Amino acid sequence: MAFAEMTGLLAAGLPLAAFKIDGITADPSAIVELLMKEKLMLNPGDGQKGIAPLAFIYDPQKNIHYGYGIVGAEQEEELLPTKDKVLERLEKAGFLSSSS
């Protein structure tokens, strides 16, 4: 949570939860670009729910394809649906394997 505090994610007082992502099939920069383009990136200063990537690791040569993120929403009961929505969008874009 030190990351969340340093980046200002705690300033808005939104509920947050950390989670692991398995099955990343794309370059992390492409994932972040999609999150920002489709307004799925957590931005509490603007009241925007979504996820904030902590680490997305994709190295097909070493068979490493996972990541960690923080999900945030206005209400605690929105955390899981928000995370699921983002992961479904990433899967639809081909950035996550369907078995993740």
- Asked whether residue 5 is assigned to any structural domain, the reply reads no
- Asked whether residue 60 is assigned to any structural domain, the reply reads yes
More confidently predicted of 96 and 46? 96
- Asked whether residue 1 is assigned to any structural domain, the reply reads no
Placement of tokens 């097909």 in the chain: 60
Least confident segment among 4-18, 37-51, 86-100: 4-18
Please write the tens of the pLDDT for every residue from 60-92: 888 889 999 999 888 899 999 999 999 999 999
Q: How far is 43 from 34, CA to CA, in rounded Å?
A: 14
pLDDT of 29 > 70? The answer is yes
CA atoms within 13 Å, Cβ hemisphere of 91: 13
Residues 6+ apart with CB under 8 A from 19: 68, 69, 70, 71, 83
User: What's the structural domain count of the chain?
Assistant: 1
- Asked whether residue 72 is assigned to any structural domain, the reply reads yes
CA dihedral 85, 18, 11, 47 (to 10 degrees): 0
Q: How far is 77 from 58, CA to CA, in rounded Å?
A: 30
- Asked whether residue 100 is assigned to any structural domain, the reply reads no
Give percent of the chain with pLDDT exceeding 90.
57
Looking at residue 28, which CATH number applies to its domain?
A: 3.30.310
- Asked whether residue 68 is assigned to any structural domain, the reply reads yes
Placement of tokens 């996550």 in the chain: 96
Range of the domain at 22: 15-92
Nearest Cα to 79, choosing from 14, 9, 35? 14
